Structures are given as structure tokens and as C-alpha cells.
Structure 1
Amino acid sequence: MPLPVEPTAIVQHTPAPAPAPVPTAPVSSPPVVQLTPGALVALVGGGTAVVLVVGTVLVSLLLAVAVTAASVAVCAVVLRSMLNGQHKR
């Protein structure tokens, strides 16, 4: 004998009301920088000076490495000459 089927109640939940939006501060645009001709010339001059100084430092470092390599090579030649001179005696 089949059991009687009772319909289930459908309960609809209403969504909770959305919270009120929090007022945000107006976004201000950053100030526009306007370069005068004098400021532009100063900026170009400063950039040129920085490039020249950095170039000078790098060339000096390269020269120091070259001088060190040459002196090590001279020391190696002198030591080899001294050691070969002892073997001949």
C-alpha cells in the first residue's frame, strides 16, 4: 500500500536590503606640471650633466681595470723570467 505524499511548503526568502553606499571623497586629478622654457633648458642641462658624470665614472673604472690587468701581466712576465733564469743555472 503506497504512502500518501504530502506537499512540502516552499518558503521564499527575501534578500536583505543592500547597505547604503558609503559616500567617497571626490577623486582629485593630480596637478598638471607645466614646464617653462627656462625649466626645460635646466632639465636638459641637468640630464646632460648626469650622463657625462656617469660616463666619466664608468670610463675611469674601465681604465682602472685595464691598468690592473697590465700590471698583473708585467708581474707574470717578470716572475716567469726569474723562474726560468734559476732553472738555467
Structure 2
Amino acid sequence: MLSYRNRRTGEVHVPEPGSWMADRLDGLPQVWEPVESVEGTLPPVRPARSARKSEWVAYALTRGYTREDAESLSRDDLARLLDDPDAEPEA
């Protein structure tokens, strides 16, 4: 299934094939990058630094952190911690 990722924000849309939204996103290649999902999933995209805390928590979960640990940190702490691609949760 074809999805579209916003090049600036990382936001992902999965429009219905052939819909007006699919046509609209396809017509804006400077902003919306088409990506082919593998087995219905997309790799996690790092949220924008200004994204809501809930987006950072969801991203932290994909990186192996527990919900409890991720929610105990501030949005800015999550952004700093997850900026490091080698950062791993403590066991």
C-alpha cells in the first residue's frame, strides 16, 4: 500500500487508493514523499522537536522504551534522549 510522508514534519498519511486525497498528495511531491509500506507498516519516523509529547512517547515505544518510562520524561527530555540514534533504553 502506498503512503505519503511529509518531508518537513514526518507526518504520514495512508489515503484510500484512487481517492481525492491520494491524488492531492501525489500532486505535491515537494512536500509529500510517496513511501511503500512493508507488510502494512512504516518505519517509525522521529517526530519534529516541537511535536506533542504524545508523539514523542509513541516514538519512544518504537525504540524499546516502556510507556511508563517515556511518560515520566518531559517532551524536551524525550527529544534530547531520542536525538541520539545509538541511545538504548536501560535494561
Higher relative contact order (CA 8 A, sep 6+): 2
* Greater share of residues in strand: 2
TM-score, normalised to structure 2, is: 0.14
TM-score, normalised to structure 1, is: 0.14
* Greater share of residues in helix: 1
